[in-house]
Amino acid sequence: MLDHGFVRLDGAMADDLSVVNSARVSFGRRVDELSDADAGLIRFLMRERHGTPFEHNSFRFHVRCPLFVAREWFRHRVGSFNEFSMRYAKATDDFYVPEPDDVRTQVGKPGAYSFEPVHAELAQTTRDELRAVYEHAYETYERLVEQGVARELARAAIPVGAYTEFYWTVNARALMNFVSLRAAETAQREIRRYAEAVERLFAEKMPITHAAFVANDRTAP
């Protein structure tokens, strides 16, 4: 993902059957295999926004992304996070430098921005200036640590373009909410790419639930 990142499914206890059995327990019923009727039940639950049956499963993702992407991600509070700590480990020297086509200008008012590409010269200038800032910041960080400054303080020199990594454990209902917001056209381009990758992994594990989500205008139940 991007220039130094990734998202991978580290583990999962999730399938479409979990939704069906979580719903049917209200009637004292359980099935071992999905039927067409069960697929219809999933679509009904999604459409009518009966959300709790979509919570009885779990996805564990391992993510590496720029700090500014992580800070947007962490606003999704229905889930658990454990993040790399610059208090205990040396700060990364990987920083996000956008591809020339991803250097963009912002047009419009807050809440109604559109984004347009910039000309090639400005795109290259942007990339060069970001690299210069990153190099200076990381040299400052290393110098302070070498002189005895605690890592927990020296990390203040690190820009938000630095990469971090974390584990994220989340159920399908909260995952769909994340995807509905962060894979939308209005989301920031960088986190949108991660959300699209998360969605592909979700679709592999719960294809019927994912199809119902898409059919429901990508609205989480």
Asked if pLDDT for residue 157 goes beyond 90, the answer is yes
Task: Give the pLDDT band of residue 49 (cuts 50, 70, 90).
Answer: very high
Q: How does DSSP classify residue 95?
A: B
Q: How does DSSP classify residue 147?
A: T
pLDDT, tens digit, 9 for 90 and up, residues 159-210: 999 999 999 999 999 999 999 999 998 899 999 999 999 999 999 999 999 9
8 A C-beta contact, residue 176 and residue 54: yes
Asked if pLDDT for residue 19 goes beyond 90, the answer is yes
**Cβ-Cβ contacts under 8 Å for 135 (sequence gap 6 or more):** none
The pair of three-digit structure tokens given for residue 78, joined into one six-digit string: 């229905």
Domain ranges of the chain: 6-85+162-215, 100-157
The pair of three-digit structure tokens given for residue 103, joined into one six-digit string: 């250097």
- Rounded to 10 degrees, the C-alpha dihedral 121/125/127/129 comes to 180
| Topology, domain 6-85+162-215 | Gyrase A; domain 2 (3.30.1360)
Q: What is the pLDDT of residue 108?
A: 83
63: closest CA among 1, 7, 11, 4?
Answer: 7
Q: What is the pLDDT of residue 109?
A: 82
Say which of 64, 155, 173, 182 is annotated catalytic. 182
Q: What is the pLDDT of residue 150?
A: 97
pLDDT, tens digit, 9 for 90 and up, residues 59-109: 999 999 999 999 999 999 899 999 999 999 999 999 999 999 999 998 888
**Cβ-Cβ contacts under 8 Å for 94 (sequence gap 6 or more):** 3, 4, 162, 163
Distance CA(80)–CA(60), nearest Å, equals: 9
182 is catalytic: yes
Average pLDDT over residues 10-34: 94
